[in-house]
């Protein structure tokens, strides 16, 4: 979509930049969904030129370390001075300015939490490396969302604190003459902002509009009031008007909408307006006016006689792009499904893996010494240790020195005194592979009911696992036994072949199947992988562990096997494939401590989507 075909998005982007330039720290920031390109660069350059001269503008790398972001102990200065010297982090350096977050959709949860705390408090409470301090850090954030997939986006805690959300994808240019804003007018608006009054009626109307749009966060209302005040100051007024409230509703509330406003109920029959006598009694009522997509670019004209709440709601509704709510819903479901197939759980490793901080300890059994952290732990104590050394006449006590210090002659005692309690070793973590174990009921009762649909669902899940390079295994059970149809593999062809060759009919040896699943999951875990079990059955056990028929004994054996599997702690999903949800299946799922999912009317594709959505929750227990 070009800028000519959708000028409203371009004007909204410029309006948001102007309002943000008037009151950046109070508005929190702007979330921009767009890949790198000339339009995004043009918007950023325009905003930077509109901000006050000399205001800090810092770019935050994706994998920024806590020491650079927050500050802490300046190791080199501390070792030189012999006392703790603090260094300023990027947040403190950016006080009163703007942080530009590149690839913000990939920021770690820890970095997002630290940014959110600073945005809330306007200051940084530092307590690390032996330094405790509170420094001012009133910043604003420009978060660049460069995600390609629909389920990729900014984390909700960060997104909630940013006033504006812009989508620049598809725009070819920005019409800078559309608003006619000059740098001098922005400076005047900043000076006028403190005198702008906000009527209670506008606050109440913005709150009611947020409620109608399904916005639960109170921050949205607060940010909308700040945007309305900035709009009034920019327009040369000292009192917020209805037009300013409409701008805030359009730019702040509309992108946060989770539902469309409820339609007005039809008037009662006794209050209906009198019919038009000139109209024919048989004539059909006129159709409601259709929403012309070509005219959606412009905000609706403001009616001075229209109630303020209805006016703001209409302005926000007009700014909601067609299909936005459906995209949000689909994106949330896709995000849950994608989370189900991420790499396996993190496990601690001694010799291999990616660094994940450090901890106190001595480097034994191949563990790596974290030299910088060791020196950082020793640095604050250098003055005391040197004084202790001087008190002994320059001869340190052998009990207080490390092995390296004891091996040196007295004249070669190092300037940096490192003791055993200072040692830190590097913590390493490895991402374990995920193996999904499908346990499929192919007994006679299941074959009559949902076997074909269960096979179709498993095939779809197998394709998803193949894309994520997960390992899969298939166990089928019928008659008097459970058979490992496919050992853990990444071969999609073999998995489909083993599943297609699974016949239906016979008894339901559920206990035997659960025992086989437990043993295989235990073996997978011993190999260092993360197992997840998906059990597709109607839960009607009628074959015991000994292979003999008998429903009572079979159910008792199945309960015992379920408790054993639950005790092993494997994440399990129980999919009830019977035509109607069975109490016995729900009871068995409770004994398994599994997520229970009855699907009486789902087809194969909806079954696959539901399994993927809940499998992520089941994996967290593994």
In tens, the pLDDT along 171-201 reads: 877 876 666 677 788 899 999 999 999 999 9
Predicted confidence band of residue 341 (pLDDT cuts 50, 70, 90)? very low
Residue 274 reports pLDDT greater than 80: no
Q: Cα separation of 240 and 234, whole Å?
A: 11
pLDDT band at 478 (very low <50, low <70, confident <90, very high): confident
Q: Report whether pLDDT(64) > 90.
A: no
- Locate tokens 């000292």: which residue? 238
pLDDT computed for residue 278 by the predictor: 40
Determine the CATH number of domain 434-619.
Answer: 3.40.50.410
- Collapsing DSSP states into helix, strand and coil, what is residue 61? coil
Task: Read off the pLDDT of residues 102-122 as tens digits, 9 standing for 90 and up.
Answer: 889 888 888 999 999 999 999
Mean pLDDT, residues 563-571 taken together: 87
Q: Tokens 């040692």 belong to which residue?
A: 423
The pLDDT value given to residue 424: 81
Alpha-carbon gap, residue 96 to 530, rounded angstroms = 46
> Nearest Cα to 343, choosing from 184, 476, 470?
470
Fill in the DSSP letter of residue 105.
G
Mean pLDDT of 353-374: 70
pLDDT higher for 419 or 76?
A: 419
For the ranges 2-6, 362-366, 435-439, 447-451, the lowest mean pLDDT is seen at: 2-6
Question: Looking up tokens 């079954």, which residue turns up?
Answer: 607
How confident is the model over 419-433, as a mean pLDDT?
73
**Confidence at residue 330, expressed as pLDDT on a 0 to 100 scale:** 45
Q: Would you call 99 helix, strand, or coil by DSSP? A: strand
Range from 86-90, 266-270, 311-315 that averages highest in pLDDT: 86-90
Q: What is the pLDDT of residues 13-50, one digit of tens each?
A: 888 999 999 999 999 999 999 888 888 998 999 999 99
- For the segment 195-208, the average pLDDT, to the nearest whole number, is 92
Please report the pLDDT score of residue 96 as a whole number: 92
Res. 290 pLDDT band, cuts 50 70 90: very low
Residue 344 has pLDDT above 80, yes or no: no
- Buried b / exposed e over 303-326, threshold 16 CB at 10 Å, is eeeeebbbbbbbbbbbbbeeebbe
User: What torsion, rounded to 10 degrees, do the Cα atoms 240, 246, 249, 250 define?
Assistant: -140
526-543 pLDDT per residue, tens? 887 878 888 888 888 888
Check residue 62 and give its pLDDT.
83
Q: What is the mean pLDDT of residues 568-572?
A: 84
Letter string b/e over residues 149-183, b meaning 16 or more CB atoms within 10 A of that residue's CB: eeebbbbeebbbbbbbbbbbeebeebeeeeeebee
- 480: Cβ contacts below 8 Å, ≥ 6 apart: 506, 507, 509, 512, 543, 547
Please name the residues in contact with 476: beta carbons below 8 A apart, sequence gap of 6 or more.
Answer: 440, 442, 482, 483, 485, 502
Helix (H) or strand (E) holding 482: strand 481-489
Residue 562's closest CA among 602, 583, 533? 533
Interatomic CA distance for residues 168 and 10, integer angstroms: 8
CA distances in angstroms from 27 to 177, 221, 438, 492, 584, listed in the order given: 24, 11, 50, 50, 55
Is pLDDT larger for residue 350 or for residue 361? 361
Q: Average pLDDT, whole number, for the chain?
A: 75
User: Please, are residues 400 and 438 in contact by the beta-carbon 8 Å criterion?
Assistant: no
pLDDT at 311: 67
- Return d(Cα 117, Cα 109) in angstroms, integer: 12
- The answer to whether the CB of 145 falls within 8 A of the CB of 255 is no
Average pLDDT over residues 444-455: 61
What's the CATH number for 1-181?
3.40.50.300
pLDDT at 251: 92
pLDDT band at 598 (very low <50, low <70, confident <90, very high): confident
pLDDT 10s digits, 306-332: 566 666 666 666 666 555 545 444 444
CATH number belonging to domain 183-258+306-322: 1.10.8.80
130-139, 172-181, 488-497: least confidently modelled range: 172-181
Residues 345, 571 contacting (CB under 8 angstroms):
no
For residue 563, the model assigns a pLDDT of 92
Q: What is the DSSP string of 515-576?
A: HHHHHHHHHHHHTT-EEEEEEEE-----B-TTS-B-HHHHHHHHHHHHHHHHHHT-EEEEEE
Could you state, in order of their start, the residue ranges of all structural domains in the chain? 1-181, 183-258+306-322, 350-430, 434-619
**Would you state the pLDDT for residue 219?**
92
Confidence band (pLDDT; 50, 70, 90) for 203?
A: very high
Question: Is 1's pLDDT higher than 60?
Answer: no
Strand ranges inside 10-75, DSSP E: 29-33, 57-60, 71-73
Task: Say what percent of the chain tops pLDDT 90.
Answer: 22
Locate 87 and state its tokens. Answer: 């260094």
Residue listed under structure tokens 């100051």: 233
Average pLDDT estimate for 136-141: 93
Same fold, 1-181 and 183-258+306-322: no
Question: Quick one: pLDDT at residue 240?
Answer: 93
> Are 144 and 99 contacting, i.e. CB atoms less than 8 angstroms apart?
no
Query: Alpha-carbon distance 354 to 351, whole Å?
Result: 10
Does residue 423 surpass a pLDDT of 50? yes
């Amino acid at each position: 979509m070009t800028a000519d075909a959708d000028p409203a998005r371009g004007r909204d982007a410029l309006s948001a930049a102007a309002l943000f330039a008037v009151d950046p720290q109070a508005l929190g920031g702007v979330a921009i969904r767009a890949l790198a390109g000339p339009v995004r660069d043009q918007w950023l350059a325009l905003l930077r030129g509109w901000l006050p001269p000399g205001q800090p503008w810092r770019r935050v790398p994706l994998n920024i370390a806590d020491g650079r972001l927050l500050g802490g102990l300046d190791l080199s200065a501390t070792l030189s001075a012999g006392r703790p010297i603090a260094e300023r982090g990027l947040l403190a350096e950016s006080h009163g300015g703007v942080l530009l977050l590149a690839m913000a959709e990939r920021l770690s949860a820890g970095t997002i939490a630290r940014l959110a705390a600073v945005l809330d408090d306007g200051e940084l409470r530092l307590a690390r490396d032996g330094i405790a301090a509170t420094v001012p850090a009133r910043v604003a954030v420009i978060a660049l969302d460069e995600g390609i997939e629909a389920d990729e986006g900014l984390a909700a805690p960060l997104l909630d604190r940013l006033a504006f959300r812009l989508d620049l994808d598809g725009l070819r240019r920005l019409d800078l003459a559309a608003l006619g804003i000059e740098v001098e007018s922005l400076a005047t608006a900043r000076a006028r902002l403190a005198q702008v009054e906000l009527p209670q009626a506008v606050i109440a109307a913005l709150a009611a509009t947020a409620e109608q749009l399904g916005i639960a966060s109170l921050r949205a209302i607060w940010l909308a009031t700040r945007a309305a005040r900035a709009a009034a100051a920019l327009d040369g007024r000292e009192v917020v008007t209805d037009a300013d409230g409409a701008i805030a509703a359009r730019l702040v509330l509309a992108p946060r909408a989770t539902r469309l406003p409820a339609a007005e109920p039809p008037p009662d029959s006794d209050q209906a307006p009198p019919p038009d006598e000139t109209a024919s009694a048989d004539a059909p009522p006129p159709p409601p006016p259709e929403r012309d997509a070509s005219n959606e670019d412009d905000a609706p004209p403001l009616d001075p006689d229209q109630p303020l709440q209805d006016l703001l709601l209409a302005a926000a509704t007009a700014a909601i792009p067609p299909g936005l709510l459906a995209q949000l819903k689909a994106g949330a479901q896709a995000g849950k499904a994608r989370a189900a197939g991420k790499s396996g759980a993190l496990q601690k490793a001694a010799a291999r893996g990616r660094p994940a901080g450090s901890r106190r300890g001595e480097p034994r059994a191949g563990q790596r010494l974290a030299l910088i952290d060791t020196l950082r732990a020793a640095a604050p104590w250098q003055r005391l240790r040197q004084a202790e050394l001087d008190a002994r006449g320059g001869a340190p006590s052998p009990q207080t020195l490390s092995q390296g210090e004891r091996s040196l002659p007295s004249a070669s005692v190092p300037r940096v005194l490192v003791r055993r309690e200072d040692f830190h070793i590097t913590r390493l973590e490895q991402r374990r592979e995920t193996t999904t174990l499908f346990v499929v009921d192919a007994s006679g009762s299941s074959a009559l009911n949902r076997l074909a649909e269960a096979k179709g669902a498993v095939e779809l899940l197998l394709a998803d696992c193949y894309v994520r390079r997960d390992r899969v295994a298939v166990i089928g059970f019928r008659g008097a036994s459970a058979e490992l149809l496919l050992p853990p593999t990444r071969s999609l062809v073999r998995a489909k072949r083993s599943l297609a060759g699974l016949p239906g009919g016979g008894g339901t040896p559920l206990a035997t199947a659960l025992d086989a699943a437990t043993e295989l999951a235990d073996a997978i875990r011993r190999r260092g992988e993360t197992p997840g079990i998906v059990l597709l059955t109607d839960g009607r056990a009628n074959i015991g562990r000994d292979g003999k028929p008998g429903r009572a004994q079979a159910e008792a054996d199945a309960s015992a096997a379920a408790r054993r599997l639950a005790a092993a702690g494997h994440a399990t999903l129980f999919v009830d494939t019977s035509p109607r949800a069975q109490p016995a299946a729900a009871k068995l799922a409770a004994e398994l401590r599994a997520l229970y999912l009855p699907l009486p009317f789902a087809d194969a594709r909806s079954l696959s989507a539901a399994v993927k959505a809940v499998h992520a929750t089941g994996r967290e227990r593994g």
